[in-house]
Amino acid sequence: MIRQFIFGSAAVAAMIGFAAVPAFADESQEVATAAAHAGMAAASADIKMVHMHLHHVVNCLVGPSGTGFDKAAGNPCDGKGNGALMDNPGDKKAMLEDALTKANAGIAADDVDASKKLAADAQTALMK
């Protein structure tokens, strides 16, 4: 009986210990979501939709505490991490920064075709 109690207590303690350990963010989900939204931006018919999806790209890349995050635009990466740039171990940083630069340029562009081209370029960068 005591043995069962000790074993049971150890099992409960182990479960509580594992539950308290925070999960590490996996930037691959954030990158995949950003790439999908870059593709949506490139396929959008009007500048408003191109810009909205590019804001989603930026939000997924920089995360809620990052420069350029626009809460009003929505965050399709909510709950997936702190932003791909924050969650990346470093090996993809240049690629992510390149995609971010293209997404921001697309947001700044007023011409729908130029903005869509930059969105497609951002998607290509994110899929490397």
Identify whether 67 is part of a domain. yes
Identify whether 20 is part of a domain. no
pLDDT value of residue 24: 53
pLDDT value of residue 87: 94
More confident call, 18 vs 112 = 112
- Mean pLDDT of all residues in the chain? 85
What's the pLDDT tens digit per position in 114-125?
999 999 999 999
Identify whether 109 is part of a domain. yes
CA terminus-to-terminus distance, the chain: 58
Using DSSP, state whether 22 is helix, strand or coil: coil
Domain extent, residue 71, equals 26-126
d(CA 128, CA 41): 18
Tell me the average pLDDT across 22-45. Answer: 88
How many domains would you assign to the chain? 1
Nearest alpha carbon to residue 33 among 72, 77, 64:
77
